[in-house]
C-alpha cells in the first residue's frame, strides 16, 4: 500500500516532529485520516483509539512521549470527526447510524498498520469513546498484546436524564425523522473548548493543555466537532449495554479513572475492571476526563503505568512521576491567571 498523503496541522513554534498523515478508505467507502509518529528502533506499536470529537493532532504531545519511549504511534480520525468524512449535512454534530460501523474504521486502521509493516507487538491505547470501540474490537480479535483504557466509555454519565428516558427520547426523535438533530445536553453545534471556561471544564486540570486545545480549535475549526445527534446517543447507550454483557478479554489491561470524571460512567468502569482478571484499575486523585492532557504529574503516573504494562516492571518514563497535588481550579490564583493567558492566546 502506498498511502495518499493527508494534511497534518502543526504550529510553527512546535518543537515536536510532525506525524505522517495519510488517507484511508473504509470498506463502506468512508474516507478516514490516520497519523503515524515513528520511533527510532521501535520496540512495538501503539494503536491509539481517540474519543468523540477528537482529531489526530490533539495527541501530538503525548505521542512524542511514547516515541521517546521506543513505541510507534498510529491513530485515526473516526468517521464523522476530524478530517474524516462527516456523515450528515449538519457537519458540526457527531453522528452514527450504527455503532458497529466504527469497526470498519478499526479494520482500515489495522490494514494500514499491516501494510506499513509496523513492528509488533501492537498495544491498544483507547480513550473515552475509543474505549467502547476498542473493547468491541478486542471482541472481534484485534491483534494486540495489551490494552490500556483512559476513561473508557463503557457507560455514559447522562445525569440528570435517566438512561431509559434518554434511549426513549432517541427512539422518538428517530421515528419523527429527527435522529440527526442535536440531542439535548450534548452541546449543540458549538465547540466545547471555545465555549467553556477553563475553571468549569470537565476535560483537564492543566492550563497549558487547555491553552493548546483553545489555540488549535481557533486556528483549525474544521478539525472540531460539537454535540451529538439523537441517533448517536441512542446507539452509544445501546452499545454500552451490549459491552457490559461481554466476558473479559484474555489479555493484560490497564484501566484509568480520574476522581473528577463527569463524562463517562465511573461505576461501569469499576465494574468492568473488577470482572477483568488480568486488569489493573488506576484511579487518579484530582484527575479529569483526559489523562493524556492532564497536569504533568498525572501524565507521568499514567505513562509509567502504561510502560510497565507494555515493557514490564523495568519501564521508566523519560521524567519521574511527581507526587499528586490537589488543585482547586476555581480558587487557585495561578490557574485562574493561566486561564486568562490561555484565553488570550487561543482567540
Q: Which CATH architecture has domain 4-87+100-157+197-226+250-346?
A: 3-Layer(aba) Sandwich (3.40)
Give the position of cell 446517543: 233
With a CB cutoff of 8 Å and minimum separation 6, the contacts of 160 are none
Q: How high is the pLDDT of residue 230?
A: 86
- Closest-CA residue to 110 (of 7, 239, 31, 24): 24
State the chain's mean pLDDT as an integer: 86
Q: Are 30 and 79 in contact (CB under 8 A)?
A: yes
Q: Are 31 and 24 in contact (CB under 8 A)?
A: yes
195-238: pLDDT as tens digits: 999 999 999 999 999 999 999 999 999 999 998 888 999 999 99
Rounded CA separation 160/158 (Å): 6
SS (H, E, C) the chain: CCCEECCCCCCCCCCCCCCEEEEEECCCCCEEEEEEECCCCCCCEEEEECCCCCCHHHHHHHHHHHHHCCCEEEEEECCCCCCCCCCCCCCCCECCCCHHHHHHHHHHHHHHHHHCCCCCCEEEEEECHHHHHHHHHHHCCCCCCEEEEECCCCCECCCCCCHHHHHHHHHHHHHCCCCCCECCCCCCCCCHHHHCCHHHCCCCCCHHHHHHHHHHHHHCHHHCCCCEEHHHHHHHHHHHHHHHCCCCCCCCEEEEEECCCCCECHHHHHHHHHCCCCEEEEEECCCCCCHHHCCHHHHHHHHHHHHHHHHCCCCCCCCCCCCCCCCCCCCCHHHHHHHHHHHHHHC
Sequence spans of domains, the chain: 4-87+100-157+197-226+250-346
Report the percentage of the chain scoring pLDDT > 90: 74
Q: What is the pTM of this model?
A: 0.87
70-102: pLDDT as tens digits: 999 999 999 999 999 999 888 889 899 999 999
- Closest-CA residue to 54 (of 203, 171, 185, 156): 203
What mean pLDDT is predicted for residues 335-340? Answer: 34
269 burial (CB, 10 Å; 0-12 / 13-18 / 19+) is: buried
Distance of CA 247 to the CA centre of its chain: 23
Q: Work out the number of other CB atoms within 10 angstroms of the CB of residue 159.
A: 10
Q: How high is the pLDDT of residue 90?
A: 84
258-303: pLDDT as tens digits: 999 999 999 999 999 999 999 999 999 999 999 999 999 999 999 9
Cell of 236: 452509544
324, HSE (Cβ side, Cα atoms, 13 Å): 14
What mean pLDDT is predicted for residues 46-59? Answer: 98
Q: How high is the pLDDT of residue 345?
A: 34
Where is average pLDDT lowest: 4-8, 56-60, 127-131, 163-167?
163-167
Rounded CA separation 122/92 (Å): 33
Residue 55 binned pLDDT confidence (cut-offs 50, 70, 90): very high
55, HSE (Cβ side, Cα atoms, 13 Å): 24
Q: Which is it for strands 31-37 and 279-284: parallel, antiparallel or unpaired?
A: unpaired
33 burial (CB, 10 Å; 0-12 / 13-18 / 19+) is: buried
Helices 163-175 and 230-244 meet at what angle, rounded to 10?
A: 130
Amino acid at each position: 500500500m502506498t498511502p495518499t498523503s493527508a494534511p497534518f496541522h502543526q504550529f510553527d513554534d512546535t518543537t515536536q516532529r510532525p506525524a505522517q498523515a495519510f488517507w484511508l478508505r473504509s470498506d463502506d467507502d468512508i474516507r478516514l485520516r490516520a497519523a503515524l509518529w515513528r520511533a527510532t528502533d521501535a520496540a512495538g506499536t501503539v494503536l491509539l483509539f481517540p474519543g468523540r470529537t477528537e482529531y489526530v493532532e490533539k495527541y501530538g504531545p503525548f505521542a512524542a512521549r511514547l516515541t521517546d519511549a521506543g513505541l510507534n504511534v498510529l491513530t485515526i480520525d473516526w468517521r464523522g470527526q476530524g478530517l474524516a468524512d462527516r456523515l450528515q449535512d449538519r457537519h458540526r454534530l457527531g453522528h452514527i447510524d450504527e455503532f458497529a460501523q466504527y469497526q470498519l474504521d478499526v479494520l482500515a486502521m489495522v490494514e494500514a498498520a499491516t501494510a506499513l509493516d509496523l513492528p509488533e507487538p501492537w498495544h491498544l491505547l483507547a480513550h473515552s469513546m475509543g474505549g467502547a470501540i476498542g473493547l468491541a474490537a478486542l471482541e472481534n480479535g484485534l491483534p494486540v498484546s495489551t490494552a490500556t483504557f483512559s476513561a473508557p466509555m463503557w457507560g455514559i454519565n447522562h445525569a440528570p436524564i435517566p438512561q431509559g428516558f434518554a434511549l426513549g427520547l432517541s427512539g422518538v426523535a428517530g421515528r419523527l425523522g429527527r435522529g440527526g438533530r442535536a440531542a439535548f445536553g450534548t452541546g449543540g453545534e458549538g465547540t466545547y473548548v471555545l465555549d467553556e471556561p477553563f475553571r468549569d471544564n470537565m476535560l483537564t486540570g492543566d492550563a497549558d493543555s487547555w491553552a493548546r486545545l483553545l489555540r488549535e480549535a481557533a486556528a483549525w475549526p474544521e478539525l472540531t466537532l460539537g454535540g451529538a445527534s439523537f441517533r448517536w446517543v441512542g446507539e452509544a447507550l445501546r452499545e454500552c449495554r451490549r459491552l457490559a454483557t461481554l466476558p473479559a478479554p484474555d489479555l493484560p489491561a490497564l484501566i484509568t479513572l480520574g476522581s473528577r470524571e463527569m463524562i463517562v460512567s465511573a461505576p461501569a468502569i469499576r465494574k468492568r475492571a473488577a470482572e477483568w482478571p488480568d486488569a489493573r484499575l488506576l484511579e487518579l486523585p484530582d484527575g479529569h476526563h483526559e489523562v493524556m492532557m492532564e497536569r504533568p504529574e498525572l501524565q507521568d503516573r499514567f505513562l509509567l503505568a502504561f510502560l510497565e504494562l507494555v515493557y514490564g516492571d523495568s519501564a521508566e518514563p523519560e521524567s519521574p512521576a511527581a507526587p499528586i497535588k490537589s488543585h482547586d481550579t476555581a480558587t487557585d490564583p495561578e490557574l485562574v491567571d493561566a486561564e486568562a493567558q490561555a484565553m488570550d492566546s487561543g482567540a
